[in-house]
Chain A
Amino acid sequence: MDYKFDYLRELESESIFIMREVASQFQNPVILFSGGKDSILLTYLAIKAFYPARVPFPLLHIDTGHNFQETLDYRDWLVENYGLSMKVGYVQEAIDKGLVKEEKGYNASRNFLQTFTLLDELEKGKYDAALGGGRRDEEKARAKERFFSHRDEFGQWDPKNQRPELWNLFNGKKNFGEHFRVFPISNWTELDVWLYFEMEGFPLPNLYFAHERPVFERDGMLLADCDYIIKKPTEQVFVETIRCRTIGDMTCTGVWKSNAVSLQEIIAEVATSRITERGGRTDDKRSETAMEDRKRQGYF
């Protein structure tokens, strides 16, 4: 008998192994839930890993106040359907208290501010492991990230001094006050995620599927029209059939012209695309090492 194993099942099995390892090695883990497909995948894999028991850790959503409404609706549906526990941290609160200062101007984004709220919530919740949906194929700094990524007491990442990770032996030991970021889907690519969702038939937010929406163009990208972005006088709003390839804040999520209304069509589109999904993220374009710099400070 030939014990061949399909690679998507192998990725699934690896991620489930990591999830269970987290539940065993940490006291108080939490899933970072952004509402994007990667954190949805993470949540779904957690549901699978512990079935028929409930997911033994809560989800944490950092609400920047600039979300797509569809993201919030989907989040609430997921929680309701699978008996999950959800905590929400609000960036608006930090702004109101004067703890962080809102960016001004055309390209203002709350992306940087959310790191503050995230670290604050992690500290308040006394979480010792935060699971994130980061994938190594996403960005060059992420290509070097470990499954178990150690953070010092300030939440900082030291990329030059990471713990070696061998075989399937994971070391989650830490000193008081330190914590871990854990990335169970490190080895998945964007295409793998879509192929897997198609195989599993799991529902996703409708933002990922083609729909009509008022948009405008900036720096060669389309952005969804909303109250959170100040438009330049030259930027005209028009209706276009689009979909999101990633979901972040409305202020920094580029949307794409597309007619893909099913997962099969999305897979066809992704498989032939010449631009990475983060190619539409204005937050990555600020400098060559924008992601590494944010990660060092504690961003996911």
Chain B
Amino acid sequence: MIADIDYSLDSELLRFSTAGSVDDGKSTLIGRLLYDSKSIFQDQYDAIEESSKKRGEQEVNLALLTDGLKAEREQGITIDVAYRYFSTPKRKFIIADTPGHIQYTRNMVTGSSTSNVSLILVDARNGVIEQTKRHSIISSLLQIPHLVVCINKMDLVNYDEAVYNQVKQDYLDFAATLHVKDITFIPISALKGDNIVTPSENMPWYTATTLMDYLENVKITNDRNFEDARFPVQYVIRPNTDEFHDFRGYAGRVAGGVLRVGDDVTVLPSGHTSKIAKINLYKDAIQEAYPPMSVAIELEDDVDISRGDMLVKTGLEPQSSQDLELMICWFDQSNALNQQTKYTIRHTTREARCVVKDITYKLNVNDLSQDTESKSIKMNDIACIKIKTTTPLVIDQYSRNRITGSVILIDEGTNNTVAAGMIV
């Protein structure tokens, strides 16, 4: 009875983000991915069918699956990031479904921060519009490694190859200004199911991958940094029991590179050195640890290490600095960026304080133009700034490592997270 279910233990996790408004077919696309991968359950379907009826709608509105909050249902818009899950025997998928309007730029940034793939939807009838550009620019800023452009509603343009080619060319012209390494184009109809899971019979001129095929096979292992060993210490495990009397385990999640037993390591910022004695995964001693493993490391020497310190491979030390240049997205709705105040900055497991020394420019997310005059940074604005921190931070460029290259700023009055920053 358990014969044909193959959930082998080497399937990967792929996170992708989508952005868009209700009418561009995003909800239909997500609905279809969930439906075709058998991730919509009967009672969920029944519930939205009933809701659709109550609202006087003719068909079952798949957008109701993704719009969970009362306010969203009432207004028919997506306000916040919603997470959706589905899996196939090959992979488990997490969708960060975000709103596409300019006033929700911060939600788009949030949803994109951990994505492997950004799924950009383009309506074949409208071509590349402002929202397409904005979403692409944000994906590029957040350095999402793979971008898949789905040219949707092909059924409404008679599955015309010329239309597809035109949209593709327009997009490529625009994307030349972005830093995106890997772009794939797929002509689809989310509503009719063309090229979602099965190859479209209506578009024999397109013979490349379907969307599901792409999601299942796009190579993501190399998205992580396996070169520069980085281990931010999160917590020190000290059991103080008879059995583990002298045990001192430095707990954390590997942020980059590969750490092996016997490796010479340097503790930053103190500069103390030691050797890795043991790497523990619960009760198992393992030989090497790499991202995204959570482990506990024991060192050969008794050195002073606490939360916020970073273990790195000796000889490959990253830069320590108090002067940082950041690309930030401002999140706070009540207060604009204030150069007169100090913010708490969190970088890996370390916390410090900082002041904003200069606002270099504000970025227009619709056309990438830079405004060097404006010093007013408000909610949803993206800007390049210079800060100075109270203590040195052990940093990498965001383009080198998304974990050791990212920070958040916290308002010391309200405790809110007011900005996300990427180290330039």
Contact = CB atoms under 8 A, between A and B. Distances in A.
B7 A267 contact: yes
Contacts of A9: 293
Contact of A144 (B9, B10, B81, B307): B81
Interface in B408-424: 408, 410, 415-417, 420
Given A6-B12, A11-B13, A144-B68, A52 B403 contact: no
A168 B15 CA distance: 14
B397 to A, nearest CB: 14
B258 A3 contact: yes
A162 B71 CA distance: 14
With most chain A CB atoms within 10 A of its CB, the pick from B82, B85, B291 is: B85
Given A268-B1, A273-B41, A7 B12 contact: yes
Given A144-B68, A164-B420, A166-B406, A136 B83 contact: yes
A292 interface: yes
B366 interface: no
A50 interface: yes
Given A143-B83, A274-B41, A265 B2 contact: yes
A276 B226 CA distance: 39
A50 B237 contact: yes
B12 A162 contact: no
A279 B91 CA distance: 26
Given A20-B294, A144-B82, A169-B408, A6 B7 contact: no
A205 to B, nearest CB: 22
A259 B271 CA distance: 60
Interface string A43-73: 0000011111110000000000000000000
Contacts of B69: 141, 144, 159-160, 292
A43 B295 CA distance: 18
Contacts of B410: 171, 173
Nearest to B344: A173
A174 B415 contact: yes
Contacts of B106: 164
Given A4-B10, A143-B68, A144-B69, A160 B79 contact: yes
B218 to A, nearest CB: 14
Contacts of A199: 9
Given A54-B239, A162-B80, A171 B251 contact: no
Nearest to A173: B415
A288 B51 contact: yes
A195 interface: yes
Contacts of B331: 164
Nearest to A271: B5
B41 A51 contact: no
A165 interface: yes
Interface in B1-60: 1-2, 5, 7, 9-13, 41-44, 47, 51
Interface stretch (A33-41, A96-104, A117-125, A185-193): A185-193
A218 B231 CA distance: 55
B109 to A, nearest CB: 7
B181 interface: no
B403 A143 contact: no
A162 B251 CA distance: 29
A2 interface: yes
A13 interface: yes
Interface string B347-374: 1010000000000000000000000000
Given A187-B83, A195-B7, A14 B292 contact: yes
A7 B51 CA distance: 34
Contact of B41 (A13, A166, A187, A275): A275
Nearest to A280: B43
Contacts of B240: 53
Given A160-B79, A274-B41, A292-B70, A8 B294 contact: no
A51 B7 contact: no
A7 B220 CA distance: 13
B297 to A, nearest CB: 13
Nearest to B346: A169
Given A169-B408, A173-B344, A141 B42 contact: no
A288 B47 contact: yes
A10 interface: yes
Contacts of A53: 237-241, 244
Contacts of A271: 5, 7
Interface string B319-357: 000000000000100000000000010110100000000
Contacts of A268: 1-2, 5
B417 A4 contact: no
Nearest to A178: B415
A44 B14 CA distance: 25
A126 interface: no
B285 to A, nearest CB: 12
B110 A171 contact: no
Nearest to A293: B70
A191 B39 CA distance: 11
A87 interface: no
Contact of A49 (B85, B226, B294, B416): B294
Contacts of B243: 52
Given A3-B221, A52-B241, A17 B234 contact: yes
A163 interface: yes
A163 to B, nearest CB: 5
Interface in A207-241: none
Given A4-B12, A49-B294, A186-B83, A168 B235 contact: no
A175 interface: yes
A192 B39 CA distance: 13
30 contacts: A3-B221, A3-B258, A7-B91, A10-B292, A11-B13, A13-B292, A17-B294, A21-B234, A49-B251, A52-B249, A53-B238, A53-B239, A136-B83, A137-B84, A141-B68, A143-B82, A160-B69, A164-B110, A164-B331, A166-B114, A166-B408, A167-B406, A168-B403, A171-B416, A171-B417, A187-B94, A268-B5, A276-B41, A276-B44, A279-B42
Interface of A: 2-14, 16-17, 20-21, 23-24, 48-54, 136-137, 140-144, 159-160, 162-169, 171, 173-175, 186-187, 189, 191-192, 195, 199, 264-265, 267-268, 271-276, 279, 288-289, 292
Given A5-B290, A274-B42, 11 more contacts: A3-B224, A6-B10, A50-B251, A51-B280, A144-B83, A167-B406, A168-B253, A192-B92, A195-B7, A272-B5, A279-B41
